[in-house]
A and B are shown apart, each in its own frame.
Chain A
Amino acid sequence: MRPFLYSRAMTLEQAMSEAAQSHAAIMAGGTTLVDLMRGDLAGAEHVIDIGHLPGLAKVELDGPVLRFGALARMADVAELPFLKQNYPALVESLQLAASQQIRNAATLGGNLLQRTRCVYFRDGVSDCNKRVPGSGCAALDGEDREMALFGTSDRCVATYPGDWGTALAAFDTSVEISSASGTKTVKFADFHVAYGDDPARESILQPGEIVTAILVQATPAGRHSTYVKVRDRQSYAYAVTSAAVALELDGDRVTAARVSVGGVASKPWRAPAAEAALVGKVLNEAVALDAGKAAFADARPLRHNGFKIDLGARTVARAAMVAKGKH
């Protein structure tokens, strides 16, 4: 592997300053970066470790905005009683991700930035516009069962792999980004970018910018929420399809709905058509399935992943019915 410089940042300010240099990479839990570096996919010449920095792992849940420090560990957050009670979708998305060992090390902020599991990106060999811009996309005429239905382009069809990010997409979420020039907050929907001409670019994060917190607007819909993950293997596998659903209910009638889908899009994907199909309805299995179908009405299937339209609709339907049953 390439020789690289590793440094432990003493302060956030130092990390931001060092991270502004070219070919620098921020390391928090290291669960994704080390993997990428072993595969020669990260191109990092300087790794700046911020995993131990104080103050960035704090989780504050008692205000109108839930604040998750970027360095909070997935495993720790998944155990918070308040979150389990009031936002099961968020907890479940963490519990169903990766393995316990990885969740013990991985951070919430780093998790947002994990890169696709597309085999053509990972193999280091095939044409991949994400890995080598301009080289092409092997997935377009290759194995595409795992590829995305939404937010794709003729240059990349890879899937955003995260569960936590998918669940966050169902809420009013924003991301706090810090850099030498100060701190800003961006809407979560604008944090990741769908693939256009440059699929190598996956978020708006610039060199020198560090995710320092994730902010979620408190909502009563959190209590009636769930994250359903469908995968080939019972654990330790990425979603083939997934869905987060959060509901506000008046009896059995849906008064507000939040729906996002995973395993099917280039970025965490909100499904407003499914939300519209739920609101105002008395929720039953048929309504839930109609909402699921609405979520996938605009899907762009490839050769081998068309089944995800049907499976994805069913996943939304299942999530809606489970969310309804939560209290």
Chain B
Amino acid sequence: MDINMGNGGIGEPVVRRDAMAKALGLAQYAADFPHENTAYAALTLSKVARGRISRLDTAAAEAVAGVRLVLTHRSLNESLGDETFVMKGGHMQSSFLPLSSDEIHYAGQIVSLTIADTQEAAEEAARLVAIDYTTEPASASIDDAGLTEEPADSGIDVGDAEAAFAAAEVKVDATYLTPAQHHNPIELYAAAAAWRDGKLLINLPSQWVMGTRAGLAKVFGIPVEDVQVESPYVGGAFGAKASILPHVVLVAMAARRLGRPVKLVVPREAGFTVGSFRPAARSRVRLAATREGKLTAVMHDEVGQSAVIDHVAFPGMEATSKMYASPNIRMRSATVATDVNTPGFMRAPAEAPSFFGFESAMDELAVSLGIDPVELRIMNEPARDPVSGLPWSSRSLVECYRRGAALFGWSARNAKPGSMVAADGTLIGYGCATATYPSAMAPSSARVRLAADGSCVVYCAAHDVGTGAYTVLGQVAADVLGVPDELVTVEMGHSRHPSGPVSGGSITTGSAGSAVHMAARAVRERLFATVAGGQDRTKMTLADRHVVLPDGSRRAISDIIGGLPGGVIEEQADWKPTDMDDKTMRQGLAGGMAFAGPVGETHVSFSFGAQFAEVRIDPLLRTIRVARMVGVFACGRIINPRTARSNLMGGMIWGASSALLEQSQVDRARGRFANTDLASYHFAANADIGEVVVEMLDEHDSVVNAIGAKAVGEVGIVGVPAAIANAVYHATGVRVRKTPILMEDLL
């Protein structure tokens, strides 16, 4: 079956190359890899949120038949060594390693790891680990009394926003709340570790095999070459599988101690505290404008949930400060330390919570001004970045709004709240909001091998976290080498490959794609050089597995390569973003976190989108349903419109889920997450999502990177919660300044 058209080069909607393997269950995920003689692990988690272990008795657990090891803080006696928290330059999700002491810092902390011959025995023994605690009061909510806000950074100041706000004719001053949320990828966290001759092979779902390798090498004090990390498929990641989670280290330690492979699959409820989460946040937004709708002051004060054990902040000000033209801008962010597992990256970590408040406030301003919310945004479109004064590498937000409004039928909107009612009394609301996400980049290597038969292999230690990267990177190589896409194989998700970047920050296509492009071009240059014979290589082209020479003659690449020693042309390239120095590039390629952008020396690069939502609200029961959504995005060059559309659509669906359903409920009395299973942690079912229309503008960005591709992965979620909240206001006249928006908020 071939439903792909053309050669499968850049810009074509190639069907994802791993689709069949996944549909047929052939794709092997981390927990599927068999290691001979594997022992199975199970976790015991802390029942209290803060305190110390006062009594620990593993006798009953050790007495279970088949139990091989019960690791606790008494028996571990190992540490992270020189390795540390990802925000401090390391690779760990937290600077705290459970089992490193008797201290309990958060509910659900790992207090023992039990290993047995069978999964059942491990689980039964883990249940029998007897622990008593001395407890201290704990706070898992930023709203608890007695907590203090600590400034997270120096903020952003342009002009004098306080004065401009005080003097303004029209203003909005409101505070918006977003809850803690958990990623809950369908593929659970897992790790399987095997040591052989002092070398570690670890299978785990990973967004960062190179970083994980570098980090584990440091933890165990062994050369990086002695660690291999394998993660060919990832069943949902969303930021949760980038840094090294604590169980990974403990499983590797257990495997080394036992001299036997050890596997752990972290149960759903344990994932809430073994993994990371999106921290709760509070946004106070103040906007001021002239009566005509020109912004005169933009102020955003964010407070984010952090942890006592690690300081973490995800302020959205870098993006919100750049949204609209205003002579006066003031941004501040602060954190509140709570007794929780360290929060982490979750799809658009900074932008999704902050844009709910910011874009809701823009809607409130539009209402106050009596100006259409689409027009208000267009009126305040900045020609340059209002903070740095630099030009955009590309910015097509106005075009997104114009096209989105047309697709959505925005002109049919009656601005009066509650004025649009269906025949059966259902209240209808239309809302819109802006989405943006920085187009950052990281250095990447890639190797491309072209064989005489035209088949091509791309090697890169980047990852396909379900987004289509296998397909997209293959298309880049196919495009450069003029071979059909189906002849290209892409090998990723293994640390033995040339270094790839973390799959975070929506950078894979732009960064790994640029490295593949560079390597493929090097292959092409060698091909041209081989046949040059004095002809001008710059005038040669590649098409249909032939080199087309300047004189119009054609040489089959099978002939060219077939005559070479080894019968292949293979080239590796190390690509770095334009503004990055070589030292930073080397750090990045060695598994360090090395980002460039979105503010470069000459340009500022963001992806943009305009998002629209229609909600339908039962007039009596107040249930809210999203009937349809439209998103129009400008993300530079789209390598594969099919996978990009899916990615953006997935983001929008998650945005709707976030607006109306998702929250990790905090039991404040006990300082713990309460709804730690999928029956209680609600995300959208198919029935919750109506029509979703996604379009991508044909945007050309010659600045951002070699292939002109800006960020796609995260921008889709960013504006949707506000668009839905704005639609709820339009339907009902009730302004809800928190998510999720529940029916009781409208009673």
Q: B-contacting residues of A (Cβ < 8 Å)?
A: 1-3, 40, 117, 119-120, 122-123, 125-126, 138, 141-143, 145-146, 230-238, 240, 307, 310-311, 314-315, 317-318
Please, how many angstroms separate the alpha-carbon atoms of A240 and B123 in the complex? Answer: 33
Name the one of B620, B670, B685, B687 contacting A142, with C-beta atoms under 8 angstroms: B670
In the complex, chain A residues whose CB is within 8 Å of the CB of B685: 233-237
Name the one of B124, B623, B680, B682 contacting A119, with C-beta atoms under 8 angstroms: B680
In the complex, chain B residues whose CB is within 8 Å of the CB of A318: 620-621
B688 interface contact, C-beta 8 A: yes
* Binary CB contact string for chain B from 61 to 78 against chain A (1 if under 8 A, 0 otherwise): 000000000000000000
- Please tell me if the beta carbons of A125 and B47 are within 8 angstroms of each other in the complex: yes
Interface residues of B in 330-355 (CB under 8 A from A): none
B58 interface contact, C-beta 8 A: no
Please, how many angstroms separate the alpha-carbon atoms of A240 and B686 in the complex? Answer: 19
- Please tell me if the beta carbons of A3 and B124 are within 8 angstroms of each other in the complex: yes
B308 interface contact, C-beta 8 A: no
Task: With A119-B674, A138-B670, A311-B743 as known contacts, state yes or no: A232 contacts B661, CB within 8 Å.
Answer: yes
Please, how many angstroms separate the alpha-carbon atoms of A311 and B622 in the complex? Answer: 9
Q: Using a Cβ cutoff of 8 Å, how many contacts connect chains A and B? A: 85
- Please tell me if the beta carbons of B669 and A315 are within 8 angstroms of each other in the complex: no
- What is the minimal beta-carbon distance from A58 to any residue of chain B, in angstroms? 31
Please, how many angstroms separate the alpha-carbon atoms of A141 and B674 in the complex? Answer: 12
Nearest 8 pairs of A and B residues by beta carbon: A234-B687, A307-B744, A235-B687, A143-B674, A141-B669, A142-B667, A234-B688, A235-B685
Please, how many angstroms separate the alpha-carbon atoms of A234 and B743 in the complex? Answer: 12
Please, how many angstroms separate the alpha-carbon atoms of A141 and B671 in the complex? Answer: 12
- What is the minimal beta-carbon distance from B65 to any residue of chain A, in angstroms? 9
- Please tell me if the beta carbons of B688 and A143 are within 8 angstroms of each other in the complex: no
Task: With A1-B123, A143-B675, A318-B621 as known contacts, state yes or no: A235 contacts B669, CB within 8 Å.
Answer: no
- Please tell me if the beta carbons of B124 and A234 are within 8 angstroms of each other in the complex: no
Name the one of B120, B269, B620, B682 contacting A232, with C-beta atoms under 8 angstroms: B682
B734 interface contact, C-beta 8 A: no
Please, how many angstroms separate the alpha-carbon atoms of A314 and B670 in the complex? Answer: 34
* Binary CB contact string for chain B from 340 to 382 against chain A (1 if under 8 A, 0 otherwise): 0000000000000000000000000000000000000000000
Q: Please name 19 pairs of A and B residues whose Cβ atoms are closer than 8 Å in the assembled complex, sorted by A.
A: A2-B124, A3-B124, A119-B675, A119-B677, A122-B679, A138-B667, A138-B670, A141-B669, A142-B669, A142-B670, A143-B665, A231-B623, A233-B684, A233-B687, A234-B625, A234-B687, A237-B685, A311-B622, A311-B747
* Binary CB contact string for chain B from 648 to 690 against chain A (1 if under 8 A, 0 otherwise): 0000000000001100011101100011110110101111100
Task: With A117-B679, A143-B665 as known contacts, state yes or no: A317 contacts B620, CB within 8 Å.
Answer: yes
In the complex, chain B residues whose CB is within 8 Å of the CB of A143: 665-667, 674-675
- Please tell me if the beta carbons of A1 and B124 are within 8 angstroms of each other in the complex: yes
Please, how many angstroms separate the alpha-carbon atoms of A237 and B740 in the complex? Answer: 16
B407 interface contact, C-beta 8 A: no
- What is the minimal beta-carbon distance from B261 to any residue of chain A, in angstroms? 22
Please, how many angstroms separate the alpha-carbon atoms of A2 and B122 in the complex? Answer: 10
* Binary CB contact string for chain B from 714 to 747 against chain A (1 if under 8 A, 0 otherwise): 0000000000000000000000000010111001
- What is the minimal beta-carbon distance from A155 to any residue of chain B, in angstroms? 17
In the complex, chain A residues whose CB is within 8 Å of the CB of B402: none
Task: With A1-B123, A117-B679, A318-B620 as known contacts, state yes or no: A233 contacts B674, CB within 8 Å.
Answer: no
Name the one of B45, B120, B127 contacting A3, with C-beta atoms under 8 angstroms: B120
In the complex, chain B residues whose CB is within 8 Å of the CB of A125: 45, 47
In the complex, chain A residues whose CB is within 8 Å of the CB of B45: 125
Name the one of A126, A234, A310 contacting B747, with C-beta atoms under 8 angstroms: A310
Task: With A142-B667, A142-B670 as known contacts, state yes or no: A238 contacts B679, CB within 8 Å.
Answer: yes
In the complex, chain B residues whose CB is within 8 Å of the CB of A307: 744, 747
- What is the minimal beta-carbon distance from A158 to any residue of chain B, in angstroms? 13
Interface of A is mostly: loop
In the complex, chain B residues whose CB is within 8 Å of the CB of A232: 660-661, 682, 740, 742-743
Please, how many angstroms separate the alpha-carbon atoms of A179 and B669 in the complex? Answer: 45
- Which partner residue on chain A sits nearest B64 by CB separation? A3
Please, how many angstroms separate the alpha-carbon atoms of A126 and B269 in the complex? Answer: 13
In the complex, chain A residues whose CB is within 8 Å of the CB of B680: 117, 119, 122, 146
- What is the minimal beta-carbon distance from A290 to any residue of chain B, in angstroms? 14
Name the one of B127, B687, B743 contacting A40, with C-beta atoms under 8 angstroms: B127
Please, how many angstroms separate the alpha-carbon atoms of A3 and B123 in the complex? Answer: 10
- What is the minimal beta-carbon distance from A234 to any residue of chain B, in angstroms? 4
In the complex, chain A residues whose CB is within 8 Å of the CB of B742: 232
Please, how many angstroms separate the alpha-carbon atoms of A240 and B745 in the complex? Answer: 14
Interface residues of B in 614-628 (CB under 8 A from A): 620-623, 625
- Please tell me if the beta carbons of B621 and A314 are within 8 angstroms of each other in the complex: yes
Please, how many angstroms separate the alpha-carbon atoms of A123 and B47 in the complex? Answer: 10
Please, how many angstroms separate the alpha-carbon atoms of A142 and B680 in the complex? Answer: 15
- Please tell me if the beta carbons of B621 and A142 are within 8 angstroms of each other in the complex: no
Please, how many angstroms separate the alpha-carbon atoms of A279 and B688 in the complex? Answer: 37
- What is the minimal beta-carbon distance from B690 to any residue of chain A, in angstroms? 10
Interface centre among B625, B661, B667, B686 (most CB of A within 10 A): B667
* Binary CB contact string for chain B from 687 to 715 against chain A (1 if under 8 A, 0 otherwise): 11000000000000000000000000000
In the complex, chain B residues whose CB is within 8 Å of the CB of A314: 620-621
- Please tell me if the beta carbons of B744 and A233 are within 8 angstroms of each other in the complex: no
- Which partner residue on chain A sits nearest B48 by CB separation? A125
8 extra interchain contacts, Cβ-Cβ under 8 A, other than A235-B686, A311-B744? A1-B120, A123-B676, A142-B669, A143-B667, A232-B742, A240-B743, A310-B747, A317-B620
Please, how many angstroms separate the alpha-carbon atoms of A204 and B585 in the complex? Answer: 70
In the complex, chain B residues whose CB is within 8 Å of the CB of A310: 747
Please, how many angstroms separate the alpha-carbon atoms of A78 and B665 in the complex? Answer: 34
- Please tell me if the beta carbons of B623 and A230 are within 8 angstroms of each other in the complex: yes
In the complex, chain A residues whose CB is within 8 Å of the CB of B740: 232
In the complex, chain A residues whose CB is within 8 Å of the CB of B747: 307, 310-311
Please, how many angstroms separate the alpha-carbon atoms of A230 and B747 in the complex? Answer: 13
Please, how many angstroms separate the alpha-carbon atoms of A192 and B660 in the complex? Answer: 34
Please, how many angstroms separate the alpha-carbon atoms of A9 and B740 in the complex? Answer: 47
Please, how many angstroms separate the alpha-carbon atoms of A168 and B45 in the complex? Answer: 41
Please, how many angstroms separate the alpha-carbon atoms of A139 and B620 in the complex? Answer: 29
In the complex, chain A residues whose CB is within 8 Å of the CB of B669: 138, 141-142
- Which partner residue on chain B sits nearest A140 by CB separation? B669
In the complex, chain B residues whose CB is within 8 Å of the CB of A145: 665
In the complex, chain B residues whose CB is within 8 Å of the CB of A311: 621-622, 743-744, 747
Please, how many angstroms separate the alpha-carbon atoms of A125 and B676 in the complex? Answer: 12
- Which partner residue on chain A sits nearest B742 by CB separation? A232
- Which partner residue on chain B sits nearest A321 by CB separation? B620
Name the one of A119, A230, A234, A236 contacting B621, with C-beta atoms under 8 angstroms: A230
- What is the minimal beta-carbon distance from A173 to any residue of chain B, in angstroms? 26
In the complex, chain B residues whose CB is within 8 Å of the CB of A1: 120, 123-124
- Which partner residue on chain B sits nearest A306 by CB separation? B744
- Please tell me if the beta carbons of B670 and A126 are within 8 angstroms of each other in the complex: yes
Please, how many angstroms separate the alpha-carbon atoms of A120 and B682 in the complex? Answer: 17
- What is the minimal beta-carbon distance from A289 to any residue of chain B, in angstroms? 9
- What is the minimal beta-carbon distance from B689 to any residue of chain A, in angstroms? 9
In the complex, chain A residues whose CB is within 8 Å of the CB of B661: 232-233
In the complex, chain A residues whose CB is within 8 Å of the CB of B679: 117, 122, 238
Please, how many angstroms separate the alpha-carbon atoms of A230 and B624 in the complex? Answer: 11
In the complex, chain A residues whose CB is within 8 Å of the CB of B677: 119, 122
In the complex, chain A residues whose CB is within 8 Å of the CB of B676: 119, 123
Please, how many angstroms separate the alpha-carbon atoms of A145 and B663 in the complex? Answer: 13
- Please tell me if the beta carbons of A233 and B688 are within 8 angstroms of each other in the complex: yes
In the complex, chain A residues whose CB is within 8 Å of the CB of B670: 126, 138, 142
Please, how many angstroms separate the alpha-carbon atoms of A311 and B623 in the complex? Answer: 10
Please, how many angstroms separate the alpha-carbon atoms of A318 and B747 in the complex? Answer: 15
- What is the minimal beta-carbon distance from A241 to any residue of chain B, in angstroms? 9
- Which partner residue on chain B sits nearest A304 by CB separation? B744
In the complex, chain B residues whose CB is within 8 Å of the CB of A234: 625, 685, 687-688
* Binary CB contact string for chain B from 120 to 156 against chain A (1 if under 8 A, 0 otherwise): 1001100100000000000000000000000000000
In the complex, chain B residues whose CB is within 8 Å of the CB of A237: 682, 685
Please, how many angstroms separate the alpha-carbon atoms of A234 and B124 in the complex? Answer: 37
In the complex, chain A residues whose CB is within 8 Å of the CB of B621: 230, 311, 314-315, 318
